[in-house]
Amino acid sequence: MRTAERTPRVTRYPELVRDASLIWLASGVVGVSFGAIAVTGGLPVWVPVVMSLVVYAGASQFSAVGVLLAGGGPVAAAATGLLLNTRTAAFSLAVADTIGRGRLARLVGAHLVADETVAFALAQPDPARRRAAFWICGVGLFVVWNATVLAGALAGSALGDTATYGLDAAFPAVLVALVLPTLREGAAVRRSALLGAALALAVTPAVPAGVPVLVALAGLALYGRGNSANVREGSAT
């Protein structure tokens, strides 16, 4: 029993490592792109590297760098990043029990909360696998993201125009793959997802990158109504 309890999660759940590696790969591709874009735009190498370590939020980092490269100041860049990162408040609530109860676990886990990590964890069928999935995916994603941002920043202009590679499609493709199994959980989930997707698509042409994700959270209101209706029906019977 003690041996099993001390076995690292990585060896106890090799299939999670295999599945998470696809997320790490997508993250690495986008990380290289982010580092290269920041440096070729005129920022010093240390800016995207430190930002990735401290902020650690892909969409917010791209938006903040976009503000800086457009001539905006650090305050405007930070405000943009904070606005886009407000979505992680809902994500944190979703995985609060999954992260753990210790102060250190919550402190480190909060920094690792990201779209991909949360989606990967919540896709697991039981609490033990969800916790393992969160930490395996989260730690690996953090390491890969920072390493590839550094690599992209050092490579700089040698990569050419990163937009020509279609790197921006990597993360959305991974997220869609993670979300699809969740749609089987019931009609309320599907209605919420459909509403959120429709709202995000509707505002995409008019708002900065990352904001449509915040707007999509409005779909949760429909999910709440569906659950309330189910509870009332259950009480009536």
Asked whether residue 123 is assigned to any structural domain, the reply reads: yes
Cβ contacts of 73 within 8 Å, gap of 6 or more: none
Query: Between 175 and 211, where is the model more confident?
Result: 211
Average pLDDT of the segment spanning 146-172: 73
Regarding whether 149 and 196 lie in a shared domain, the answer is no
Regarding whether 117 and 227 lie in a shared domain, the answer is no
Q: What is the pTM of this model?
A: 0.67
The model's confidence at residue 237, banded by pLDDT at 50, 70 and 90, is very low
Q: Decide if 31 contacts 152 (C-beta within 8 A).
A: yes
Asked whether residue 17 is assigned to any structural domain, the reply reads: yes
Supply the range of the domain harboring residue 83. 13-157
Asked whether residue 230 is assigned to any structural domain, the reply reads: yes
Number of domains in the chain: 2
List C-alpha distances in Å: 36 to 5, 44, 99, 161, 210. Answer: 43, 11, 33, 9, 20
pLDDT tens digits along 4-15: 444 445 667 788
- Nearest-Å Rg of the Cα atoms of the chain is 19
Rounded Cα distance between 97 and 111, Å, is 15
